[in-house]
């Protein structure tokens, strides 16, 4: 027997994490040097995993010479094709119905409405008249986004109809949705539910909001104290959201949730994969669990218990300074505080950048710690002030 893996990120170390499963590993990858690459029985490197039906054509051909017991994606963009392959090969794992419900944000909210959960007004766009009718019914601002996007990419907050006209000037509305803008703080809950039903939920908060990178604002996340009333509500809300969607044997999840000024919780969206950016690292620092590893092992049928600290070690935050339409003049060359436990400079002094297209387009990223919500928030304030004083741009 063998396990087929779809690899995009070198963070996902299938070969190391699945050593104990006792099956050959086969890999189709768009990453040039995947970790432990020569520990796989077979590796097929492609320029892209998104070119038409090439990945499924290759995978079904490989299935003629190998008997796959599992198909393991880790990227949101591979969930549906992996589910299609499972159903074609009649092997266990997430179904097409489940994968589509987590990928299609309109279908997702249809399920939540059917379960009696409040969602922001929304509509799948099939024609320009859909835009007009929605905007006549709901005052601006409204949000335009892909029905199957991720990482806040290509999301636009429209303040008036002219913004939407400009946005769709060179593209059709097919594949897009519109929804009412929700004012409030955004939180996210991340975790794993394994095949035994054991679950781990880590409530987190965004620093600023998930679209601030579009205006050169500092972006980040932080783990939060789990015993507050709000944290408990966020976890309960996420459980209800998962229960409203088609079930899957093992689930890694990343749920984004609005907390409004009148104390309501509304889902922004939920993904059937573990969190990107630096969230996994923050959770591992706080709780001692690698959620990516736990999810992949559970999807492979490994019945490992979720090893989690009984209480948080300390709380952690990630800070990213996005690129902007300007020339980068200076970067920091010291680590100013002992509670900064990693500082990564990815920018190039002297280079001219364009506006960020996603929150991972940065020149600086860092992770910092604090013993409580209050101390961590104070460290975030001190560190962002220092970054704003230290990093210089020329328009």
Token pair, residue 240, equals 């209800």
Instruction: State pLDDT tens for residues 69-78.
Output: 999 999 999 9
Amino acid 10: pLDDT: 87
Quote the CA–CA distance of 64 and 48 in Å, as a whole number.
Answer: 23
Amino acid 251: pLDDT: 97
Lowest-pLDDT range of 27-31, 63-67, 162-166: 27-31
Residue-averaged pLDDT of the chain: 93
Quote the CA–CA distance of 228 and 296 in Å, as a whole number.
Answer: 30
State the greatest distance between any 2 C-alpha atoms of the chain, in Å, as a whole number.
60
Amino acid 246: pLDDT: 98
Lowest-pLDDT range of 28-32, 62-66, 96-100: 28-32
What pTM did the predictor assign?
0.93
Amino acid 210: pLDDT: 53
- Residue 352 phi/psi, 5° resolution? -100, 130
Q: DSSP class of residue 233?
A: H
DSSP 356-375: -SSTT-EEEEEEEEESSHHH
Contact between residue 367 and residue 281 where contact means Cβ atoms under 8 Å apart: yes
Instruction: State pLDDT tens for residues 183-227.
Output: 999 999 999 999 999 999 999 999 976 555 444 578 899 999 999
* pLDDT of 109 higher than 60: yes
Amino acid 307: pLDDT: 86
Amino acid 361: pLDDT: 84
Instruction: State pLDDT tens for residues 272-298.
Output: 999 988 999 999 999 999 999 999 999
Distances (CA, A) of 1 to 22, 23, 57, 58, 91: 9, 6, 20, 18, 12
Domains within the chain, CATH numbers bracketed: 2-92 (3.40.50.20), 121-180 (3.30.1490.20), 184-393 (3.30.470.20)
Amino acid 215: pLDDT: 46
- H-only helix segments in the chain: 14-17, 54-62, 79-89, 96-103, 105-114, 128-137, 161-167, 229-244, 279-287, 291-299, 373-390
């Amino acid at each position: 027997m063998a396990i087929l893996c779809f690899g995009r990120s070198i963070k996902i170390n299938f070969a190391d994490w699945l050593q104990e499963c006792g099956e050959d590993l086969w890999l189709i990858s768009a990453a040039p040097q995947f970790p432990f690459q020569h520990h796989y029985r077979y590796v097929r490197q492609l320029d892209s995993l998104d070119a038409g039906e090439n990945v499924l054509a290759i995978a079904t051909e490989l299935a003629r010479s190998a008997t796959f017991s599992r198909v393991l994606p880790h990227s949101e963009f591979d969930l549906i094709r992996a589910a299609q392959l499972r159903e074609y090969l009649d092997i266990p794992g997430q179904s097409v119905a489940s994968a589509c419900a987590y990928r299609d944000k309109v279908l997702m909210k249809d399920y939540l409405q059917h379960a009696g959960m409040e969602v922001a007004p929304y509509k799948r766009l099939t024609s320009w008249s859909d835009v007009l009718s929605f905007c006549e019914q709901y005052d601006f601002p409204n949000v335009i986004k892909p029905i199957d996007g991720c990482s806040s990419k290509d999301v636009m907050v429209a303040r008036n109809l002219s913004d939407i006209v400009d946005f769709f000037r060179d593209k059709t509305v097919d594949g897009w949705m519109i929804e009412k803008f929700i004012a409030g703080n955004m939180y996210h809950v991340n975790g794993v539910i394994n095949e035994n039903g054991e679950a781990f939920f880590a409530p987190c908060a965004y620093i600023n909001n998930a679209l601030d990178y579009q205006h050169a604002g500092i972006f980040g996340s932080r783990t939060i104290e789990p015993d507050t009333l709000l944290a408990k509500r966020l976890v309960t809300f996420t459980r209800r959201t998962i229960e409203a969607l088609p079930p899957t044997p093992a689930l890694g999840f990343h749920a984004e949730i609005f907390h409004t000024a009148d104390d309501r919780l509304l889902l922004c969206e939920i993904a059937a994969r573990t969190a990107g950016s630096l969230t996994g690292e923050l959770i591992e620092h706080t709780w001692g669990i690698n959620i990516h590893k736990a999810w992949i092992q559970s999807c492979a049928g490994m019945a490992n218990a979720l090893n989690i600290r009984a209480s948080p070690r300390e709380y952690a935050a990630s800070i990213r300074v996005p690129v902007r339409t300007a020339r980068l003049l200076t970067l920091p060359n010291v680590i100013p505080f002992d509670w900064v436990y990693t500082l990564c400079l990815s920018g190039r002094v002297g280079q001219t950048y364009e506006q960020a297209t996603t929150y991972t387009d940065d020149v600086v990223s860092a992770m910092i710690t604090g013993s409580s919500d209050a101390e961590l928030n104070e460290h975030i304030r001190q560190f962002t002030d220092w970054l704003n004083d230290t990093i210089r741009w020329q328009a």
